Structure 1
Amino acid sequence: MSTAPTSTSSPETLLAASSEAVSSEAASSEAAPAPAAPGAGGEQPAHSRHARRFGLPVATALVMGNIIGGGIFLLPASVAPFGTISLVAFGILTLGAIALALVFGRLAHRLPRTGGPYVYARAAFGDFAGFLAAWSYWITAWVSNAALAVAAVGYLDVLVPIHDSKAATIGAALLIQWLPALANLAGTRYVGAVQIVATVLKFVPLLLVAIGGFLFFDSANLGPFQATGGSALGAVSASAAILLFSYLGVESAAVSAGEVRDPRRNVGRATVLGTLGAATLYLLGTLSVFGTVAHDKLVTSTAPFSDAVNVMFGGSWGGAAVACMALVSMVGALNGWTLLSAQAPYAAARDGLFPKVFTVKRRGVPTVGVLVTVVLASLLTVYNYTAGTKGVFEILVLVTTFTATVPYLLSTAAQIYFLLSGQSEKVSRARLVRDGVLALAAFGFSLWLVAGSGYAAVYQGVLFLFAGVLVYAAMAARKGRAAATAG
């Protein structure tokens, strides 16, 4: 990968340098990781058998696996109190997610480099915007990992009761986080293998419930269209706020573009295919559970898919089966998110915006980024259990929804900048209009995500971002001193 320009470079220079990086990466062989930037110590040689570029199937699985974590197993019960109007919110969110996916596909075609939103924001608006994108995305990743681990422990408890022992609960949560981290440290070859296996194992049973449930569908179970008072728009927005976290991950292939084979072609396709697949499973699964479990029971359910399986086949074995599915799903999501959480700081560190140690790579994986991420997520997990601050932890999860919208907003704004500044590729006017409409739709969708996060989450998220400004100031000062010394 070519080294990105310094902070004094103009957007046009950044685009030119990015084009050179594209040419370099596109020429890499299938088995080779992206070449190291100068000073990015620790890259494995191109012939390393542990590093391998992702093809379209693995990239698609990465997107689907990261979007569909453990949330789908709780979503039907979470939105049931609003009534079936929540399906309208699902539809709106799906359209917005697809718009984002298409925009990321176009941006990845222009700048197919590891880093995703960071690369796009920096190319359009300079170092500070790029840093904010990388910083906020990094926060999103490791806090989400902690949330997934805590949720996974709840399903593990169904199989192996551990809730009476706090030490066992904490140990299980840490083990669930560190196993995917070890798979990442083994190399991108093993990350892809784990992702494919996890995706297959979780989608087969989920599809069985989502499709098989319609054989037992009873419209009487759906309950009222709008179960809460107030306006329909308010009900849609309220249910959408719960569903927002479930669609994070549409940018997964773009963030790892440097590790995707033929990224100009495959990143966009994987992003759209992964988002469509996840959205289809979300909608089918939720509607199926709505129609098989009575509404008054669903609103109080803690395991809606288990209840649906019990209705479909009788008995009480559904809880254990769904617990296994949830564990596989969340371990697969942790596997993918661990990789993504290391990619953003790696790309920023290459350009001197994160500490240089984040550029260390082994077997195609930014090892320091993986280790720092899993340590931070582990500390947050331990704090959550020992302090007993469930409400604080839930706020932090909502913060991830807000922090994820920062790179989304910057990425869509970058696409609008490229289109309006005349730096777009030579395509037809119709294509330019279509790209512009998609970018505006994705930008509006991202603003809606901010509003849906709630005041408390936005407040906490802004504090996280301001803490990052201090880090940027320190890194910018170091770059300035280095430039003055060199001059």
Structure 2
Amino acid sequence: MATLRQQLFRVKPVPRDGGESGSQLKRSIGLFQLTLIGVGGTIGTGIFFILSEAVPIAGPAVIWSFLIAGLVAGLAVLCYAELAGSVPVSGSSYSYAYSTLGEMPAMGVAACLLLEYGVSTAAVAVGWSQYVNQLFNNVFGFRLPDAFSFAPEEGGIINLPAIILIALCALLLIRGTAHSAVTNTVMVIIKVVVLIFFAAVGFTGWNADHFANFAPFGLAGVMTGAGVIFFSFVGLDAVATAGDEAKDPRRNLPIALIAALITVTGVYVLVAIAALGAQASGEFEGQSAGLSAILENIVGASWPGTVVAAGAVISIFSVTLVTLYGQTRILFAMSRDGMAPKVFQKVNPRTMTPVANTVIVSIVVAILAGLIPINFLAEMTSIGTLAAFLVVSIAVIVLRRREPDLERKFKVPGYPVVPILSIIGCLWIIKDLRPITIIVFVIWTALVLVWYFFTGRKNSVLGQQQAALEVSR
């Protein structure tokens, strides 16, 4: 019988057939759609409204905050790319940790991912609500009452538009992955065009004086801003959650991850520079639907703001769709391993999607979106993402040492410097997050590990397989 230590750190074999054996999910997502899952799950998560949170912290030096957050994300994405080509299954860094570090560490990563995707879905849904109100005001001349547009802590009763958005995304995901991927592709193209439009108009209002006091809060402000902005890079790793539904995953997953990173970082820097050149940093704080407001002030008319607001409504819809998808696929992988209740792995034979899983996740996320303010949601998402990126970087090193002959379609350049720098970068940003964020994160992770110790450890499919093998001997 396996000892407690052997149970906690048992490692799941790396799949050798290009994916998880026995998966009921259909391989229907090609390279272009995989790339747009990464872009779609990221652009809109932050850039449409995170400036109002980050600029008051960092000033115009928020541009450096974006670059630092992007650099750390980039280092981690290179590590993701290697693991995605080596362990091409659903579950993202949870599955990678399970195949490298062991079962208990994998559950710690699962806690990070559940926080990252669940909370980010809620957060972007809250941001969507702001732009819906802006669009309604510009087109129809009215706004939804504050009571139904804000969380209780922000002076409302419930954020109804956020809940409606999550319900719509859930319905689309239930219909099937192929339908969702096509819808996401269309939405991503629209959002990129809208953001380029914003930058083009924004540069017509350029004022170099807005950059005069570039870093009013020093390096500390820049780093704290990077911690908040890191929320804007959530979604890149959503590509890795599609391992069981991607065509030729060993080749396409690494390419899609890197292509999405380049696209996202370029768009973010372009929009941030245009926004800061058009509006003084002191005017960002508390600004709802900020990009729309900036264009309205430049042009002196509502139509450019209406275009951006409409683009944001479409854009953030696609982010919510991707992050909700990622959450359900992580739970699917956990359930298949015995780490979560079996209901999360049940696949509808007609749509080939985990319907019950999607419904349960959507209800929980809708409650968060309806009742919790966005600033707290954004930081909780950042720490979950950073912790997951940290583990992936460690996993690359472990898998290189343990299985040097494993087929790798992509290898991290500059190994082992890149994964080590990724680890340091993640820790550097985490230390500058607010203490309450770190405390809540630790409590949440502890609760998930308690669940594992008393339930998941006993229901582990890998553990049952190993026990059966011992008996047969």
Q: Tell me, yes or no, if the aligned pair for 1:52 and 1:189 is still in contact at 8 Å.
A: no
Q: Does 1:278 align with 2:296?
A: no
Q: Tell me, yes or no, if the aligned pair for 2:159 and 2:371 is still in contact at 8 Å.
A: no
Q: Does 1:460 align with 2:440?
A: yes
Residues 208-247 of structure 1 mapped to structure 2, 5 A cutoff: 208-228=197-217, 232-247=218-233
Equivalents in 1 of 2:107, 2:432: separation in Å? 24
Match of 1:29 in 2: none
Q: Does 1:352 align with 2:328?
A: no
Match of 1:410 in 2: 391
Match of 1:48 in 2: none
CA offsets 1:267-310 (integer angstroms, 9 cap, x no match): 11111111111111111001011112234434564343223323
Q: CA RMSD in A?
A: 2.9
Q: Tell me, yes or no, if the aligned pair for 1:419 and 1:436 is still in contact at 8 Å.
A: no
CA offsets 1:300-323 (integer angstroms, 9 cap, x no match): 643432233235433133333322
Equivalents in 2 of 1:367, 1:397: separation in Å? 27
Identity %: 22
What is the one-letter code of the residue matched to 1:200?
I
CA separation of 1:166/1:216 partners in 2, compared to 1, >3 Å: closer, same or farther?
closer
Q: Tell me, yes or no, if the aligned pair for 1:148 and 1:330 is still in contact at 8 Å.
A: yes
Structure 2 residue runs without a partner (length 5+): 1-5, 137-142, 150-156
CA separation of 1:306/1:394 partners in 2, compared to 1, >3 Å: closer, same or farther?
closer
Question: Which of residues 39, 47, 57 in structure 2 aligns to 1:64?
Answer: 39
Equivalents in 2 of 1:148, 1:109: separation in Å? 29
Shift of 1:65: 1.1
CA offsets 1:22-50 (integer angstroms, 9 cap, x no match): 2xx4xxxxxxxx8644xxxxx47xxxxxx
Match of 1:184 in 2: 173
Match of 1:207 in 2: 196
TM-score, structure 1 length as denominator?
0.84
CA offsets 1:89-121 (integer angstroms, 9 cap, x no match): 221221111111111111111111111101110
Q: Tell me, yes or no, if the aligned pair for 2:9 and 2:101 is still in contact at 8 Å.
A: no
CA offsets 1:418-447 (integer angstroms, 9 cap, x no match): 2234625589xxx67713122112212221
Equivalents in 2 of 1:313, 1:307: separation in Å? 10
Shift of 1:472: 0.7
Match of 2:153 in 1: none
Q: Secondary structure at the match of 2:326?
A: helix
Match of 2:300 in 1: 314
Q: Secondary structure at the match of 1:72?
A: coil
CA separation of 1:164/1:235 partners in 2, compared to 1, >3 Å: closer, same or farther?
closer
Equivalents in 2 of 1:332, 1:433: separation in Å? 32
CA separation of 1:181/1:420 partners in 2, compared to 1, >3 Å: closer, same or farther?
same
CA separation of 1:178/1:214 partners in 2, compared to 1, >3 Å: closer, same or farther?
same
Question: Which of residues 378, 382, 402 in structure 2 aligns to 1:401?
Answer: 382
Match of 1:91 in 2: 67
Residues 3-402 of structure 1 mapped to structure 2, 5 A cutoff: 11=11, 14-15=13-14, 18-20=15-17, 22=18, 25=19, 36-37=22-23, 43=24, 51=26, 53-81=28-56, 82-160=58-136, 161-166=143-148, 170-228=159-217, 232-299=218-285, 301-362=287-348, 363-384=351-372, 390=373, 394-402=375-383
CA separation of 1:106/1:70 partners in 2, compared to 1, >3 Å: closer, same or farther?
closer
Equivalents in 1 of 2:448, 2:432: separation in Å? 23
CA separation of 1:299/1:357 partners in 2, compared to 1, >3 Å: closer, same or farther?
closer
Structure 1 residue runs without a partner (length 5+): 1-5, 26-33, 38-42, 45-50, 385-389
CA separation of 1:77/1:142 partners in 2, compared to 1, >3 Å: closer, same or farther?
closer
Q: Secondary structure at the match of 2:265?
A: helix
Equivalents in 2 of 1:464, 1:83: separation in Å? 32
Equivalents in 2 of 1:303, 1:276: separation in Å? 25
Q: Secondary structure at the match of 1:79?
A: helix
Shift of 1:188: 0.5
- Structure with more relative contact order (C-alpha pairs < 8 Å, separation 6 or more): 2
Equivalents in 2 of 1:373, 1:476: separation in Å? 23
CA offsets 1:47-66 (integer angstroms, 9 cap, x no match): xxxx5521111111110111
Equivalents in 1 of 2:467, 2:413: separation in Å? 47
What is the one-letter code of the residue matched to 1:398?
E
Equivalents in 1 of 2:144, 2:325: separation in Å? 29
CA separation of 1:432/1:58 partners in 2, compared to 1, >3 Å: closer, same or farther?
closer
Q: Does 1:471 align with 2:440?
A: no
What is the one-letter code of the residue matched to 1:155?
Y
What is the one-letter code of the residue matched to 1:166?
F
Q: Tell me, yes or no, if the aligned pair for 2:28 and 2:247 is still in contact at 8 Å.
A: yes
